[in-house]
Structure 1
């Protein structure tokens, strides 16, 4: 997951950083530290897994690099 994907996933859901923190169990200061900038998230694997699991449970699909770049979208029926 990239920093841009994290921000975009939150935006698609209309979630604040606080809401993501509650849903994932990742501290708010950690989320605030991870989101700015570009590139891959630089964090522990368990933190990444918690963030991804919370976002996917809410309906986010992460799209891997496919020639056009990584991205996110919402499932049809979250």
Structure 2
């Protein structure tokens, strides 16, 4: 049975910082377009689920970044 954990605040962190916080909680990070966090750069501008939500360990947390190449950083993908 998966353990419930509280989703931490990741907005404002760099991707490596977020990985170091989410990983030990059992949460997996993924870019908004399904990218691995190792391919993302910049600071996190949004996350889903948001801070404070109780999720099961193993849950994927989708992140958006402010990277300039438009990959996972496009906030348009948040609403499309």
More strand by share: 2
TM-score above 0.5, yes or no: no
More helix by share: 1
- TM-score normalized with structure 2 length: 0.31
